[in-house]
C-alpha cells in the first residue's frame, strides 16, 4: 500500500502531468472558447501563480531581514511601515491584496471568474510594467463553470518552486509546454515555430551578447532574450548590462513575451503595442549591438505597396513579395550598429541559393556582411521538419578586440559549417525522430567559429572535410554566389578508401574456396551413388 501511495504522489507532482490535466480540463469545459482563448486563460493563470509566489517569497525574505535587524514583522507599526506598500530590491512586484495568489486560491468556486479578473484589473492599474501582459476580463467573458475553473486553478496551484525546487527554468518549462501546443496547431505559412533551447544557446554562445543592446524583430514569447540572459548570468553574472528591445506581430504572443520577461525581471522595450516589423517598425532609427532572431520561415503576405522604396533595401533591391526571407535579412542589417554590430538568425535553407534573391545575396557577400553560414540538423525543431540554417552577419570583419578575444582580419572570407550529421542525441518522448544539440556539441561548433575568427588562424587553409571550411569571395563568385555549405566543404567518397587490389584478392580467394568446396561435395555425392549401384550422367 505504501508503495502505491508513493507512486500516486509522484504522478501528481509531475509537471507534465499537471499541465496535461489543465489542458484536458480546458478542452472538456463548456464555453472555453477557441484554442487561443484556452491558451490565454491558461498562461494568465500561470502568470498569476508565479507572480503571486514571487511576492510571497519576497515577503518572507523581508520578514527575515526585519527579524535579523531585531524588529518584529508582526508588530502593527512595522507592518504598516514595511508591508502595506512594500518595495523589493530583486524585481519582485508588490501586489494589492485582491491580486495575491493566497486570495485567489481561497476564493469559493462560484466566485473565481470574477476574482481572477479583479486581480488582473488591479495589477494592470497598479503596475505600468505589467499592463498589457494579459487580456483583462477573459475569465468573466468565457465564464467557465464553477467546477471547471476550480479544477484548473487547483491544478495550477501545484506548480510551485517550493514543490519542484529552485529549478532554473521552471517558468520556461511551463511556457514551453503551451507554446509547443500552440505551434503544433499553426501552419507553416504562419511561421509559429517554437525555437528549441539548444538552438538559442548555440546562437548566444557564438555571438556572445554580453553587454549593450539586444534586439529581436520577431521576438515571439521572448525566448531569445531569456536564453541570452541565462547565458550572460552563466558567463558574467549580471544581466543589467544588456538592454532588450523587441517587436512581435501577434497580440497573444506579444502579451506572452511581456509576461515572460516581467516574471524574469528582464528590463525590456517591446514597443507600445503588437505590430509588424515590416509595415510599422516600432524601433525605426535605432541600432543595436546584437540581434538574435528566428523569423517565420518562408513568410508570404508580408509585402505592402508602401514598402517598395523602403530605406531598408534602398542600397539593394526590393525583396520578392512571395517570400520574406531576404526582407528579414535586410531589416536585421538595417538595425545593426554600423561599426561592430553582430547578428545571428535562422532561415530556411532555400535562402542559401534562391534564384529570385540572387542580386541581394551577391551584394551582401560583396559588401562583406556575411560572416558564417551554419547548416543545422533538420530534426532539431519539434514542430517542423524544415531544414534550417544559422546565418551570422558581422559589421566588423576587420579584426580587433571583441570581449576577451583578439580577432584577425576576416574580410572577404566566409566560414561554412555543416552540422547535418550531428543527429546522435534523440529527444525523449517525441513520436517522430527528433534530436538535440548537447552542450559539448554547441561548444565544439562555437570553437570552430571562434578559432576561425581569432588571430593566428590562416583562413586560406582552415577546413576539416565534411564539417567546415573557410572560403574566399572569389570562389563564391565562381560558384554563382550560392551560400550552400555543401558546395564548398569537401565531401570524402569513403569508397575510395578501399584497397581495391587487396579487396579483389580477398574476394577471389573466397570464391576459389567456395568453388573448391562445391567440387568436393560433387565428388562425394558421385562416390555415394556409385556405392549403391547408380551412375551419374
520-529 pLDDT, tens per residue?
767 776 666 6
Beta bridge partners of 72: none
pLDDT at position 71 over 80: yes
Percent of the chain past pLDDT 90, that is, above it, reads 47
pLDDT of 412 above 90: yes
Looking at residues 295-315, what average pLDDT do you find?
A: 91
Asked if the model's pLDDT at residue 410 lies above 90, the reply is: yes
pLDDT at 261: 85
Q: Is the pLDDT of residue 498 over 60?
A: no
pLDDT at 453: 96
d(CA 398, CA 262): 38
pLDDT > 70? residue 56: yes
pLDDT above 90 (res 213): yes
pLDDT given for residue 189 in this prediction: 36
3-state secondary structure of 219: coil
Q: Work out the burial of residue 323: count CB atoms within 10 Å of its CB; fewer than 13 is exposed, 13-18 middle, 19 or more buried.
A: buried
Interval 241-276: pLDDT, tens = 788 999 999 887 888 888 888 877 788 899 989 999
Highest mean predicted confidence (pLDDT) among 40-49, 100-109, 221-230: 100-109
Cα separation, 348 vs 88, in Å, equals 44
Q: Going by C-beta distance under 8 Å and a sequence separation of 6 or more, which residues neighbour residue 463?
A: 469, 470, 489, 490
**Residue 184 pLDDT level (bands cut at 50, 70, 90):** very low
Identify the pLDDT of residue 473: 97
CB atoms within 10 A of CB 12: 13
Contacts by 395-399, CB closer than 8 A, 24 or more apart: 395/336, 395/337, 395/338, 395/339, 395/340, 395/341, 395/342, 395/369, 396/339, 396/340, 396/342, 397/368, 397/371, 399/455
Taking only the tens place, the pLDDT of each residue in 156-182 is: 998 887 776 544 455 556 766 765 665
What mean pLDDT is predicted for residues 424-441? 84
Q: Provide the residue ranges of all domains of the chain, joining segments of one domain with +.
A: 2-167, 184-487, 499-537
CA dist 350 → 91, 104, 344 (Å): 43, 50, 17
One of 3.30.70.1230, 3.30.70.360, 3.30.930.10, 3.40.50.150 is the CATH number of 184-487, namely: 3.40.50.150
* Max Cα–Cα distance, the chain, nearest Å: 124
- Percentage of the chain modeled with pLDDT above 70: 81
pLDDT-derived band at 371 (thresholds 50, 70, 90) equals very high
Higher pLDDT, 519 or 206: 206
Region of residue 127 (phi > 0: left; psi between -120 and 50: alpha; otherwise: beta):
beta
**Whole-angstrom Cα distance, residue 467 to residue 464?**
6
Instruction: Check: CB of residue 215 under 8 Å from CB of residue 246.
Output: yes
Class of domain 2-167: mainly alpha
pLDDT of residue 79: 74
Distance from C-alpha of 94 to C-alpha of 83, rounded to nearest angstrom: 9
What is the rounded CA–CA span in Å between residue 306 and residue 333?
A: 20
Grade residue 235 by pLDDT with cuts at 50, 70 and 90.
Answer: confident
DSSP state letters, 79-125: HHHHTTT---TTSPPP--GGGSHHHHHTS-GGGHHHHHHHHHHHHHH
CA distance 164 to 170: 8
C-alpha cell at 493: 567518397
pLDDT at 510 (0 to 100) = 61
- Cell triple for residue 25? 480540463
Q: How many CB atoms lie within 10 A of CB 186?
A: 17
Please give the Cα distance from 222 to 84 (Å, whole number): 33
- Which positions ≥6 away from 240 have C-beta within 8 Å? 267
Is the pLDDT score of 67 beyond 60? yes
Give the C-alpha separation, 497 to 37, whole Å. 60
Among 483, 482, 460, 487, CA closest to 471: 460
Please compute the mean of the pLDDT values over residues 210-224 and round it to a whole number. 89
Q: Are 225 and 216 in contact (CB under 8 A)?
A: yes
Q: What is the pLDDT of residues 458-491, one digit of tens each?
A: 999 999 999 999 999 999 999 999 999 999 998 8
Cα(398)–Cα(523) distance, integer angstroms:
81
Binned at pLDDT 50, 70 and 90, residue 518 comes out as low
What pLDDT score does 171 carry?
59
Q: Distance between CA 109 and CA 126 in Å, rounded?
A: 26
Mean pLDDT of the chain: 83
| pLDDT on residue 429 | 66
pLDDT of amino acid 91: 63
- pLDDT at residue 75, rounded to an integer: 78
pLDDT, tens digit, for every residue of 87-114?
665 667 788 899 999 999 999 999 999 9
Phi, psi angles (nearest 5°) of residue 395: -80, -10
| Helix runs in 479-499, H state only | none
Strand (E) or helix (H) holding 157: helix 146-157
Amino acid at each position: 500500500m505504501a508503495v502505491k501511495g508513493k507512486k500516486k504522489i509522484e504522478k501528481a507532482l509531475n509537471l507534465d502531468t499537471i499541465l496535461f490535466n489543465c489542458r484536458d480540463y480546458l478542452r472538456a469545459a463548456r464555453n472555453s472558447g477557441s484554442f487561443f482563448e484556452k491558451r490565454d486563460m491558461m498562461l494568465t493563470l500561470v502568470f498569476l501563480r508565479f507572480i503571486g509566489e514571487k511576492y510571497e517569497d519576497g515577503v518572507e525574505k523581508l520578514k527575515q531581514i526585519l527579524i535579523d535587524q531585531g524588529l518584529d514583522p508582526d508588530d502593527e507599526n512595522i507592518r504598516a511601515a514595511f508591508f502595506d506598500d512594500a518595495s523589493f530590491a530583486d524585481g519582485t512586484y508588490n501586489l494589492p491584496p485582491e491580486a495575491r495568489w493566497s486570495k485567489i486560491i481561497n476564493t469559493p468556486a462560484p466566485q473565481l471568474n470574477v476574482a481572477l479578473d479583479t486581480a488582473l484589473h488591479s495589477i494592470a492599474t497598479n503596475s505600468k510594467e505589467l499592463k498589457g501582459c494579459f487580456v483583462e476580463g477573459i475569465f468573466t467573458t468565457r465564464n467557465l463553470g464553477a467546477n471547471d475553473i476550480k479544477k484548473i486553478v487547483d491544478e495550477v496551484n501545484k506548480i510551485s518552486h517550493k514543490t519542484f525546487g529552485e529549478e532554473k527554468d521552471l517558468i520556461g518549462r511551463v511556457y514551453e509546454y503551451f507554446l509547443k501546443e500552440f505551434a503544433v496547431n499553426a501552419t507553416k505559412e504562419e511561421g509559429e515555430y517554437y525555437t528549441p533551447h539548444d538552438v538559442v544557446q548555440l546562437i548566444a554562445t557564438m555571438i556572445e551578447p554580453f553587454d549593450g543592446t539586444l534586439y529581436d524583430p520577431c521576438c515571439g514569447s521572448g525566448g531569445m532574450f531569456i536564453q541570452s540572459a541565462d547565458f550572460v548570468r552563466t558567463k558574467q553574472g549580471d544581466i543589467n548590462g544588456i538592454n532588450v528591445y523587441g517587436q512581435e506581430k501577434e497580440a497573444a504572443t506579444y502579451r506572452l513575451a511581456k509576461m515572460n520577461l516581467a516574471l524574469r525581471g528582464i528590463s525590456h522595450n517591446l514597443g507600445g503595442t503588437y505590430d509588424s516589423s515590416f509595415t510599422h517598425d516600432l524601433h525605426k532609427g535605432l541600432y543595436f549591438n546584437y540581434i538574435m532572431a528566428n523569423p517565420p520561415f518562408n513568410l508570404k503576405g508580408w509585402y505592402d505597396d508602401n514598402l517598395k522604396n523602403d530605406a531598408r533595401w534602398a542600397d539593394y533591391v526590393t525583396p520578392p513579395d512571395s517570400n520574406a526571407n531576404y526582407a528579414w535579412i535586410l531589416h536585421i542589417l538595417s538595425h545593426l550598429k554600423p561599426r561592430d554590430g553582430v547578428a545571428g538568425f535562422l532561415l530556411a535553407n532555400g535562402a542559401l541559393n534562391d534564384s529570385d534573391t540572387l542580386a541581394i545575396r551577391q551584394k551582401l557577400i560583396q559588401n562583406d556582411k556575411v560572416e558564417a553560414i551554419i547548416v543545422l540538423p533538420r530534426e532539431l525543431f519539434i514542430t517542423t521538419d524544415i531544414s534550417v540554417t544559422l546565418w551570422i552577419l558581422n559589421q566588423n570583419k576587420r579584426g580587433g578586440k571583441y570581449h576577451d578575444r583578439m580577432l584577425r582580419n576576416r574580410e572577404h572570407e566566409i566560414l561554412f559549417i555543416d552540422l547535418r550529421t550531428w543527429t546522435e542525441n534523440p529527444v525523449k518522448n517525441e513520436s517522430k525522430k527528433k534530436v538535440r544539440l548537447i552542450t559539448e556539441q554547441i561548444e565544439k561548433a562555437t570553437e570552430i567559429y571562434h578559432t576561425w575568427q581569432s588571430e593566428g588562424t590562416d583562413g586560406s587553409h582552415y577546413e576539416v572535410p565534411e564539417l567546415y571550411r573557410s572560403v574566399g569571395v572569389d570562389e563564391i563568385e565562381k560558384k554563382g554566389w550560392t551560400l550552400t555549405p555543401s558546395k564548398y566543404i569537401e565531401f570524402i567518397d569513403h569508397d575510395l578508401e578501399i584497397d581495391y587490389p587487396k579487396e579483389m584478392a580477398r574476394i577471389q580467394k573466397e570464391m576459389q574456396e567456395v568453388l573448391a568446396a562445391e567440387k568436393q561435395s560433387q565428388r562425394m555425392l558421385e562416390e555415394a551413388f556409385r556405392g549403391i549401384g547408380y551412375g551419374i550422367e
